[in-house]
Copies of this chain bind each other. A is one copy, B any other.
Amino acid sequence: MLVRLRKNLAEAEVSLFLALAGELGYSARFLDEERELARLDGPGRPDHRSRLEDCHAVLQVLDPGLARELHLRPPGGPDRVVQVGDALFGGEHVSLIAGPCAVEDPARTLEIARAVRARGATVLRGGAFKPRTSPYSFQGSAHAGLEVLGRVRREAEIAVVTEALDPRDVEAVGEVADMFQVGSRNMANQPLLSELGRQRKPVLLKRGFAATLREFLLAAEFVLAGGNEQVVLCERGIRSFDPSTRNVLDVGGVAWLKRHTHLPVIVDPSHAAGRSDLVRALARAGLAAGADGLICEVHPHPAEVHSDGAQAIGLEDFSILASDARALAALDGRSVVQPGRVSARVPEKIPAQ
């Protein structure tokens, strides 16, 4: 490990640093007379970089060396492939998640599930617990919504992803969902992440709208460090100074993530755009930048949506988008996983995977 120390440290501060390095099992050697640069040789465990960065004497870990965090892709290492029902994310596989912003009534939700599945979605999205900016906005149908999702899941034979907002709801969500969603506002919600680290079911982790890529990966690390290796990252747009679009889809971030981590990365063009007429362009851009899938708000009647209706696309637009996805995936020798391919595997009850 290569560490840069603060300038003009007191002797006591240097000693504290050396003691910590020793305690972690490293031998330290200063590279310069001013003792601002130190090389540490030793075990290199995933937690050591953060432990050293916590030390007051340390200005910056210039190179973590062997202290590789769990999210890091080993040089030349393969993609992790995450399976969710029929869907596969990563490697040669691109999968599509689609559905309403919030769970609707059972009949309507079933209709949507069947419609998006027929058009190429392998996972149904739909919020039972909705994070909202105002306490007076519709907050989702909660446990009733979960029940609808469970029923639709069985009847439409489609896997389901839905958001958990509160660590106390994780168990209930896990009884219905094939995949937990962590929303952008909750990317840094540690009690929630830690709870999900104890689950054995995939987690869709959305990037905070003002989180750096490093912070995003460390949020994933909370889940990974808990023992849950099935994390799918989702870039959904970052906040900028320009009100023209709601967020800016960070396609460079997608490409950067694919290089730095072995975890799959998908994009959410709906929240990035905030308006339906830009969704297709963003979906295409995300896939062209290397994303392993899409999560998209789709609704047969966007105008009747409870929340965020302006960004949902209709069914026909979703067909076009799925067709785009197949064409773009093919350019790279990848393919979009089709519903039903492994559907026999969606079980009545969801086992811990």
Q: Which residues of A contact B (CB under 8 A)?
A: 2, 4, 6, 9-10, 12-13, 16, 31-32, 36-37, 39, 46-51, 53-54, 56-57, 62-63, 131-139, 165-168, 185-186, 188-191, 193-194, 208-210, 212-215, 218, 221-222, 225-226, 237-245, 247-256, 258-259, 272-273, 277-278, 281-282, 284-290, 302-307, 309-310, 324, 327-328, 331
What are 29 A-B pairs at a CB distance below 8 A? A2-B36, A13-B303, A49-B136, A50-B136, A53-B137, A56-B302, A56-B309, A131-B190, A133-B215, A134-B218, A135-B226, A136-B221, A166-B167, A167-B168, A210-B241, A212-B241, A213-B244, A214-B244, A238-B241, A240-B240, A240-B248, A241-B241, A242-B250, A248-B252, A249-B252, A254-B281, A259-B277, A281-B288, A285-B286
Give the docked Cα–Cα distance between A61 and B193 (Å): 36
Give min CB distance, A11 to chain B, whole Å. Answer: 11
Decide: A281 and B252 in contact? CB cutoff 8 A. Answer: yes
CB distance from A327 to the nearest CB of B (A): 5
Q: Which of B48, B256, B284 contacts A244 (CB 8 A)?
A: B256
Neighbouring B residues of A250 by C-beta, 8 Å: 240, 242, 245, 248
Q: Is the CB of B190 within 8 A of A165?
A: yes
Q: Are B240 and A244 in contact (CB under 8 A)?
A: no
Whole-angstrom distance between the alpha carbons of A128 and B220 in the complex?
23
Closest B residue to A212 by CB, please name it: B242
A282 touches B253 (CB 8 A): no
New A-B pairs, 14, CB < 8 Å, besides A2-B32, A214-B244, A285-B285: A6-B310, A50-B135, A50-B137, A53-B134, A56-B305, A56-B310, A133-B218, A166-B190, A189-B189, A212-B243, A212-B244, A245-B252, A248-B253, A282-B289
| Pairwise interchain contact B191-A168, C-beta atoms closer than 8 A | yes
B241 with A135: CB separation less than 8 A = no
**Bound Cα distance A139, B225 (Å):** 14
Contact residues in B for A47 (Cβ distance below 8 Å): 135-136
Contacts of A62 in B (CB 8 A): 4
